[in-house]
A and B are shown apart, each in its own frame.
Chain A
Amino acid sequence: MTEVPRFWREIPQRYNLIGNKCRKCDWINFPPRSICKKCNDHDFERFDLKGEGKIITYTIIRAAPLGFEDLVPYAIAIIRLDDGPRITAQIVDCDSSEVDIGKRVKVCFRKIAEDGKAGAISYGYKFKLV
């Protein structure tokens, strides 16, 4: 079940990978935070992540949660973005056997979840191999 209001508030980060950068220590937070993860300061500027990076680790999902059954088997990876932050996302447009640690990936715009046939559709980032 998608929480529509929460998803709506997160549109900038989900659609465009917009994080924030701590003005004191330069740490880039994604998702954006109100208190810096590194130094606890709260003076930030907007930071647009470029959406490219490489796979640090991954897992293949074969028994999917409700709403994701059509996608199995699929890979969920932890990605180290070139800009610094780590991000967890699905790797699309490939066989799960092609996914591997160290491979380069690039962001794409996809359906993230669908609340059944009558509910809201949520969109956001996934990644594909480059």
Chain B
Amino acid sequence: MDVGIVGYGSYIPVYRIKVEAIAKVWGQDAETMRKGLKVDEKSVPAPDEDTATIAVEASRNAMLRARINPKRIGAVYVGSESHPYAVKPTATILAEALEATPNLTAADFEFACKAGTASMQAIFGLVKAEMIEYGVAVGSDTSQGAPGGALEYTAAAGGASFIIGKANLIAKLNGTRSFTTDTPDFWRRERQAYPRHGGRFTGEPAYFKHILTASKNMMNGLGLEPKDINYFVPHQPNGKFPRQAAKKLGFTEDQLLQGLLSPQIGNTYSGASPLGLTAVLDIAKPDEKILLTSYGSGAGSDSFVFTVTDKILEVQGLAPKTSDYINKKKYVDYGTYAKYRGKINLADE
């Protein structure tokens, strides 16, 4: 029995801050930061947006494409590293907003930047096992980087949602593989506002080792080579790492660029590679193959291969495209950004 994606949707907040605006405040050279990270600007959530509101907007778009009765949804999983509550699930808010309640299961997933693909993988399994008819898997984040730190240039907000099922597929799942180790490259302790990273751990033994191994294992498992894949969508913490990973795996820039959004919106954490997948699905043609590989610090990668079906053409225009959200933007200065992100301590706090 085939399983796959029945509907997909994305959401990116309208506000942006440029690398220049951040560099100016901290006395850093904007050109150096921009070239080093290959990121020009990042998305900023409005003060009344959070992981839950982004998950709802993205999932409503996914439902516009899936065109199913929400009561047939048997599971709602939301992956994030910025759930609004420490205790109280985001997934119940989303399930209620989709009117999928009450006869379903719901849970929140956490695994740094790969919580979204972890929830996708779990939903594929539940559908494949015929425990549910449809499931919703979301990657959504409003991530924070400490003021003045390197992560502040990229920590962004956005999300993607997938309605997963076994009928009327727009993209069939060919397979999924994961690669997981205990690697202390990046973490945030309970009640800490900002994460920390393990210095030199972040590149080779973390991002590259996991992304490359998971991607290779996935392709080998299905007997595929880079030339058989039309689009490679890796996790994108900046604009530089994905380019290097693509090159090491033997992918061309053409195979990478459609799903590479970080130069314009930054790192949307759990939303990052899932949003890249939505940008690919927006323009994909029947029979094209997509390799999606997430990365989450701590550390692990989930890799997926999808084959697009001819049903894709019916649904692409049913909801806003990811490029619509990327192109619709309003710039804020650092002061406004700091206020929106709660980086200013008010008198009564």
Binding site for B on A (CB under 8 A): 11, 15-16, 69-71, 92-94, 108-112, 117, 121, 123, 126
Which of A15, A111, A112 meets B97, CB within 8 Å? A15
Q: Are A123 and B47 in contact (CB under 8 A)?
A: no
Which of A11, A16, A71, A117 meets B48, CB within 8 Å? A71
Q: A11-B96, A111-B48 are in contact. Are A123 and B53 (CB under 8 A)?
A: yes
Complex Cα–Cα for A109 and B330 (A): 19
Q: Are A108 and B57 in contact (CB under 8 A)?
A: yes
Q: Are B52 and A123 in contact (CB under 8 A)?
A: yes
Beyond the given A111-B48, A123-B97, could you list 13 further A-B residue pairs with CB under 8 A, ordered by the A residue number? Answer: A11-B96, A15-B96, A15-B97, A16-B97, A70-B339, A70-B340, A70-B342, A108-B57, A109-B97, A110-B46, A111-B49, A121-B52, A123-B52
0/1 string, B30-73, CB within 8 A of A gives 1: 00000000000000001111101100110010000000000000
Binding site for A on B (CB under 8 A): 14-15, 46-50, 52-53, 56-57, 60, 84-85, 93, 96-97, 99, 330, 339-340, 342, 346, 349
Q: CB-CB < 8 A to B97: which residues of A?
A: 15-16, 109, 123
Chain B's closest residue to A11 (CB) is: B96
Which of B47, B84, B330, B346 meets A71, CB within 8 Å? B47
Chain A's closest residue to B97 (CB) is: A15
Q: A15-B96, A70-B340, A93-B330 are in contact. Are A109 and B57 (CB under 8 A)?
A: yes
Q: Nearest chain A CB to B99's CB is how many angstroms away?
A: 6
Q: Are A111 and B96 in contact (CB under 8 A)?
A: no
Chain B's closest residue to A109 (CB) is: B56
Complex Cα–Cα for A109 and B50 (A): 10
List the 5 closest pairs (A to B, CB-CB), nearest first.
Answer: A110-B48, A111-B48, A109-B56, A70-B47, A93-B14
Q: Nearest chain A CB to B344's CB is how many angstroms away?
A: 9
Q: Are A92 and B46 in contact (CB under 8 A)?
A: yes
Q: Are A111 and B99 in contact (CB under 8 A)?
A: no
Q: Nearest chain A CB to B87's CB is how many angstroms away?
A: 12
Q: CB-CB < 8 A to B93: which residues of A?
A: 123
Q: CB-CB < 8 A to B15: which residues of A?
A: 93
Q: Are B50 and A111 in contact (CB under 8 A)?
A: yes
5 residue pairs of the A-B complex, CB under 8 angstroms, read A92-B46, A93-B46, A94-B330, A111-B49, A123-B53
Chain B's closest residue to A126 (CB) is: B48
Q: CB-CB < 8 A to A112: which residues of B?
A: 48
Q: Nearest chain A CB to B284's CB is how many angstroms away?
A: 27
Q: Which of A112, A121, A126 has the most CB of B within 10 A?
A: A121
Q: Nearest chain A CB to B104's CB is how many angstroms away?
A: 16
Q: Are B46 and A121 in contact (CB under 8 A)?
A: no
Q: CB-CB < 8 A to A110: which residues of B?
A: 46, 48-49, 53
Q: Nearest chain A CB to B187's CB is how many angstroms away?
A: 23
Q: Are A109 and B96 in contact (CB under 8 A)?
A: no
Complex Cα–Cα for A117 and B85 (A): 10
Q: Are B84 and A121 in contact (CB under 8 A)?
A: yes
Q: Are B340 and A111 in contact (CB under 8 A)?
A: no
Complex Cα–Cα for A111 and B93 (A): 11
Q: CB-CB < 8 A to A70: which residues of B?
A: 47, 339-340, 342
Q: CB-CB < 8 A to B50: which residues of A?
A: 111, 121
Q: Nearest chain B CB to A63's CB is how many angstroms away?
A: 16
Q: Nearest chain B CB to A97's CB is how many angstroms away?
A: 13
Complex Cα–Cα for A93 and B46 (A): 7
Q: CB-CB < 8 A to A93: which residues of B?
A: 14-15, 46, 330
Q: Which of B15, B46, B57 has the most CB of A within 10 A?
A: B46
Q: CB-CB < 8 A to B49: which residues of A?
A: 110-111
Q: Nearest chain B CB to A25's CB is how many angstroms away?
A: 27
Q: CB-CB < 8 A to B330: which residues of A?
A: 93-94
